[in-house]
Structure 1
Amino acid sequence: MKRHDVIHTLLAAFVGLVCATSVQAQSYPTKPIRLIVPFPAGGATDLFARTLSQKLGEKMGTTLVVENRPGAGGTLGSDLAAKASPDGYTLLLSTSSTHSIGPNLNPRMPYDAVKDFTPISQVGNAPSIMLVPNSSPAKTVKEWIDHAKKNPGRLNYASSGNGTIVQLSAELFKAQADVFVVHIPYKGTALAIPDLVSGKVDVLFDSLPTGLPHVRDGRLRALGVTTLKPTALAPGVQPIADVLPGYESNTWFGLFGPKGLPPEVVSRVNMAANQVLQDPEVLDKLQRFGIEPVGGTPAQFTAMLAKESAKWKKIITERKITLE
């Protein structure tokens, strides 16, 4: 075969492949989509996934089947999604623990949080709330910082365990406020609440759904919320960032596909996700879950991922945080 014939044949094959891919993307989806949730059923991520999946399915003309694959702090399910075929029929709803925090805590992760996934859309943020006992002399974030500076090493904070967003929120606070506060890890914040109420613990950065009820019941005092701006999820609670500029700590939720997901598929899922996040029924449920809807473009999500990973890597490294 002559050289120009070979080139013609290869060009024709390439054009055919591009056309086939384009047609496939236009018809996508043609069957149900598997949405992997790397955490147990009944948790915040699972509830979010089931709320999102129903509406996403309606927008995309298919069914999204939620598949819980818990284990190793979300690593097992995330790894399963990373190794799936990049055809758009396996997606992942994951969080900061699997893509921003975990990779900086565990050098033996089975996947690369950046290279092995295609970011589609950030869909939500779950902020935390800074709680203190009613017996605390501090009524504001600034007063608490002043109190801690006057008592270095004598105050403590509770967490739900080493390497959790609860601990990292407190360590980020300590770093920015330049205070020395002792860490007391618990097996979940629910176990820490009684000690916080009694005054054995001085502060806790808890999730809104579990922390706010104790504030409403008058058992605890809320000093600040971990968002940059005031949030309707915690009305009347001051952002910590008002006192510590730039302070922000959220559990984010995001949609991913395996690496190599076709751009047309990414765009299709992203557009549907943004539409779903404006649905009044979805917004009502997210508020009850303590989650703010986000949305945006894949590029914005990718930029956020890089920023979050760098932030937590710095804190984990400088504060010598480990899983043990």
Structure 2
Amino acid sequence: MSSRFRVSRRQFLASSAAGAAALTLPGRAAFAQSFPDHNINITIPTGEGGGADRDVRLITQIWKKYLNTDFEFGYYPGAAGQVGYEFFMKREPDGYNLLFANMGPEVIMLTLQNVGIQLGKDLVYINQTSSEPMSVFVGKRSKFQSLQELVDEGKKRAITCSVSRLPHPASIGMLALGEATGANFNLVPFGGGNPSAMAAITGEVDCCALPFANPITLGSEVRILGVFSDKNPAPDQSGDAPTVNSVFGTKLPELTSSRGFAVQAAAMEKFPDRIETIKKTCAQVLADPDYVEAVQKAGLPKEFIDPGDQQKAMSTAEATRELAEKYRALLTGK
């Protein structure tokens, strides 16, 4: 052995003691435990300017109070979210890469499409930030004044209904409504909430089905005909729109979508402390009055804020997966 690598026992003990002492110094300890020490990247599997983009920016503008860092956003729409998920899984699993998920449609996508990403094994939803039911609405100049009128027309001809993507709780709602009433709904995917809503406003389609926040933020430009929920959570902001089941006496399941953050399972294994920091500080954001105020200023009901931990988020995902399997034939035609 070369003398360069020969260390006496006394030298080893001395250097070990010095190293241990150095780690107890406040500055050195802070350096060793510093997270995050650079920007956090957030992958969004939809286009810029959509509902997920709006929501994640509302969160991150408050999150800076609790995490001393900046956030960078990347948008990867395509294949009902598959493009974004596949891109995210290739990112470094180090806690600096997060995915902001629209769990409803994206769990349906993972269930129905051959993506090769398993929830729990490959990817984990670590929290839940909001939840909202699905809704059906028309433009303000539409001849349809009620959901009953829309369904009656659907018994005579095919009603065109814009949706952001086919694998979506709103799609399940319209197909299940057609199955229950005998109405014929032809779903037309427009690749995002904004173009889907605009198609209804301009009359390009007869109606639109999207998460409830979309027509609420459009205000007088649209008329909300129904909500796929047991109860309308925002009657004052929706013209007291009825629930679909109350109109037809049906027993359609509640169709909601939750948003939240996800990480690669490998990140949880390698850097559990970092992921716990993400969870803890995000929970602080959702309880912050400044965040509630920001949500309301964006024209959204504060009732849509729905904080949940990893267990709740994964339970929500599992319930959606079961729903996708139940309506697989309607969604895929197989």
**TM-score scaled to structure 1, two decimals?**
0.73
Structure 1's 305 and 211: CA in aligned 2 closer, same or farther, altered over 3 A? same
Contact map agreement 1:122 1:295 (CA 8 A) in 2: yes
SS at match of 2:307: coil
Structure 1's 289 and 81: CA in aligned 2 closer, same or farther, altered over 3 A? farther
SS at match of 2:95: coil
SS at match of 1:253: strand
Structure 1's 63 and 194: CA in aligned 2 closer, same or farther, altered over 3 A? closer
- Aligned position for 2:233: 231
- Aligned position for 2:41: 34
Larger gyration radius, structure 1 or structure 2 = 2
The answer to whether the aligner puts 1:85 opposite 2:92 as a matched pair is yes
Partners of 1:208 and 1:96 in 2: CA distance: 15
Task: Tell me the alpha carbon deviations over residues 254-293 of structure 1, each in whole angstroms, 9 at most, x when there is no partner.
Answer: 2001113144443332222222112333234434364721
Partners of 1:155 and 1:57 in 2: CA distance: 49
Contact map agreement 1:159 1:167 (CA 8 A) in 2: no
Query: Which stretch of structure 1 is more off in the superposition, 121-130 or 239-248?
Result: 239-248
- Aligned position for 2:292: 283
- Aligned position for 1:314: 326
| Residue correspondence of structure 1 range 159-308 to structure 2 within 5 A | 159-160=162-163, 163-165=166-168, 166-175=170-179, 177-185=180-188, 187=190, 188-189=195-196, 190-195=198-203, 201=206, 203-208=207-212, 210-212=214-216, 216=220, 221-232=223-234, 233-234=237-238, 236-242=240-246, 243-245=249-251, 247-260=253-266, 261-262=268-269, 263-287=272-296, 288=298, 290=300, 292-308=304-320
SS at match of 2:127: strand
Q: Percent identity?
A: 19
Structure 1's 320 and 128: CA in aligned 2 closer, same or farther, altered over 3 A? closer
Partners of 2:243 and 2:288 in 1: CA distance: 27
The answer to whether the aligner puts 1:116 opposite 2:126 as a matched pair is no
Structure 1's 35 and 134: CA in aligned 2 closer, same or farther, altered over 3 A? closer
**Which residue type is aligned with residue 86 of structure 1?**
P
- Could you list the runs of 5+ residues in structure 1 that have no partner in the other structure? 1-22
Contact map agreement 2:46 2:75 (CA 8 A) in 1: yes
Contact map agreement 2:163 2:209 (CA 8 A) in 1: no
Task: Tell me the alpha carbon deviations over residues 13-37 of structure 1, each in whole angstroms, 9 at most, x when there is no partner.
Answer: xxxxxxxxxx999654343322222
Structure 1's 24 and 245: CA in aligned 2 closer, same or farther, altered over 3 A? farther
What RMSD, in angstroms, separates the aligned Cα atoms of the two structures?
Answer: 3.5
- Aligned position for 2:53: 46
How many pairs does the alignment contain? 287
